[in-house]
């Protein structure tokens, strides 16, 4: 299981490096004046100027806010995946496809219901209606897939589950590609009509004195906090959450107490799929992500990185790792957009975090041996 996952992530890194190799060959270009160069066009003076600019309170606050928004998105994307693995030990490669389907389905609901005269609060209300519908549809889809396809493979090697879910994501992605193409949408490009359903106060930046705060970032942070709080409350404050945690620790003892663990498996898989779909609805409004067929792959790898860094199967680890990855991503994005004209590197830094954690602490930040894989 670890080998196949490592190969998948390594393949993506190699792809990124191959795409960036022409930029690497041309060297790093800094946007500040040059003086004492130790790389082509990169100077100590220019780096010092960039550092001074980065440490300005306005820039630090902007990076911090963007980091929180990215963290909220990463946690939203990964939390369903860690729930499924924590109890069932299933590395669900179809998780990104659930997110992509949620983005398209949520966008469809808003495009069909929002008009030019729809007010901002009404659009927010319709957004949450879309969230509820998407969660229900994806939860049902996830439950059906768990019962019909994944359940027969629990007694087999994890390789069977990985191959099954990987094949499932290929089928789901191709089905969505066919459907959106039939309706005249470009499956590779972001769905522009969905962006147009955003309320004005989310689409623009809010002015707070010297700082312009993106309304979408604030909405993403608030939505992520509510989602994390809801999942935490479910796991720690409900009877069924207690059963889920007991099943993840010792499935045999839980069954001996008269609890149908297989039914719990179905509920958890449905819950994870539903949360993935809700994350897609949130990404549908974000111009950085957008609803498109490639969104499945774009969200799957960061989700795996966050889950592995936090520790496979631990909810607390996923939240902490999501914050860590989001903050590092925001910092590196600022440096390679405002200081060094080399914008592709922030994508690689996410995988560098994974490599460092695997070397220093292979089980992840909060990983516990034996959790997952029942």
Model confidence over 197-213: pLDDT tens digits?
999 888 888 777 677 78
- On whether the CB atoms of residues 89 and 373 are closer than 8 A, the answer is yes
Considering the chain, what is the average pLDDT of its residues?
Answer: 82
Instruction: Categorize the per-residue pLDDT at 345 as very low, low, confident or very high, splitting at 50, 70 and 90.
Output: low
pLDDT at 45: 56
Q: Where are the alpha helices (DSSP H) in the chain?
A: 2-26, 44-54, 57-88, 95-113, 120-145, 158-182, 192-195, 200-203, 215-237, 239-249, 251-256, 261-284, 295-310, 315-338, 345-360
Using the predicted structure, report yes or no on whether residue 42 has a pLDDT greater than 90: no
Share of the chain above pLDDT 70, in %: 82
Res 14: pLDDT: 47
Q: What distance in Å separates the CA atoms of residue 263 and residue 72, rounded to the nearest whole number?
A: 30
What H or E segment, with its residue span, contains residue 234?
A: helix 215-237
Residue 321: pLDDT band with limits 50, 70, 90: very high
pLDDT band at 33 (very low <50, low <70, confident <90, very high): very low
Task: Give CA 12 to chain center in angstroms.
Answer: 16
pLDDT tens, residue by residue, 153-198? 888 888 888 899 999 999 999 999 999 999 888 889 889 999 989 9
Q: What percentage of the chain's residues is helix, strand, coil (to nearest 5)?
A: 75, 5, 25
Q: What is the mean pLDDT of residues 220-241?
A: 90
Domains and CATH numbers, the chain: 15-26+39-360 (1.10.3470)
pLDDT at 369: 57
Asked whether the beta carbons of 244 and 264 are under 8 A apart, the reply is yes
In the numeric block, which tokens belong to residue 81?
């995946």
pLDDT at 253: 83
Q: Is 76's pLDDT higher than 50?
A: yes
Q: Which two tokens stand for residue 11?
A: 């393949």
Global pTM reads: 0.83
pLDDT of residue 10: 52
Query: E strand or H helix at 205, and its extent?
Result: strand 205-208
Q: Following CA atoms 251, 253, 257, 258 in sequence, which dihedral angle do they give, to the nearest 10 degrees?
A: 40
- At 232-273, the pLDDT tens digits run 999 888 888 888 888 777 778 888 888 888 888 899 999 999
**Pairing outcome for strands 211-214 and 205-208:** antiparallel
């Amino acid at each position: 299981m670890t080998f196949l996952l490592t190969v998948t992530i390594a393949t993506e890194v190699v792809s990124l490096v191959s795409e960036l190799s022409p930029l690497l060959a041309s060297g790093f270009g800094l946007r500040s004046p040059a003086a004492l160069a130790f790389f082509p066009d990169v100077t100590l003076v220019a780096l010092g100027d960039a550092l001074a600019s980065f440490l300005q309170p306005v820039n630090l606050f902007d990076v911090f806010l963007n980091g929180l928004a990215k963290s909220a998105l990463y946690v939203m994307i990964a939390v369903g995946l860690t729930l499924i693995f924590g109890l069932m030990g299933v590395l669900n490669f179809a998780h990104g496809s659930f997110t992509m389907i949620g983005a398209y389905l949520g966008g469809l609901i808003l495009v069909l219901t929002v008009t030019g005269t729809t007010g901002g609060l009404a659009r927010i209300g319709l957004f949450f209606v879309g969230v509820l519908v998407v969660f229900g549809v994806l939860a049902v889809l996830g439950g059906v897939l768990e019962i019909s396809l994944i359940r027969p493979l629990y007694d087999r090697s994890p390789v069977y589950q990985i191959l099954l879910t990987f094949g499932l994501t290929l089928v789901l992605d191709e089905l969505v590609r066919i459907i959106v193409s039939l309706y005249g949408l470009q499956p590779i490009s972001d769905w522009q009509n969905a962006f147009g359903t955003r309320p004005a106060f989310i689409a623009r930046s809010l002015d707070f004195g010297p700082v312009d705060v993106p309304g979408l970032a604030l909405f993403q942070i608030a939505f992520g906090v509510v989602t994390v709080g809801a999942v935490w409350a479910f796991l720690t404050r409900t009877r069924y959450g207690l059963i889920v945690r007991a099943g993840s620790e010792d499935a045999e003892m839980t069954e001996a107490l008269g609890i149908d663990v297989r039914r719990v498996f179905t509920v958890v898989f449905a819950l994870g799929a539903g949360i993935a779909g809700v994350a897609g609805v949130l990404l549908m409004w974000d111009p950085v992500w957008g609803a498109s067929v490639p969104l499945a792959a774009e969200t799957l790898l960061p989700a795996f990185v966050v889950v592995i860094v936090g520790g496979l199967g631990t909810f607390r680890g996923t939240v902490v790792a999501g914050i860590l990855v989001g903050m590092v991503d925001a910092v590196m994005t600022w440096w390679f957009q405002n200081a060094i004209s080399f914008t592709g590197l922030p994508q690689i830094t996410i995988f560098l975090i994974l490599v460092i954690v695997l070397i220093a602490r292979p089980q992840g930040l909060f990983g516990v041996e034996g959790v997952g894989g029942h």
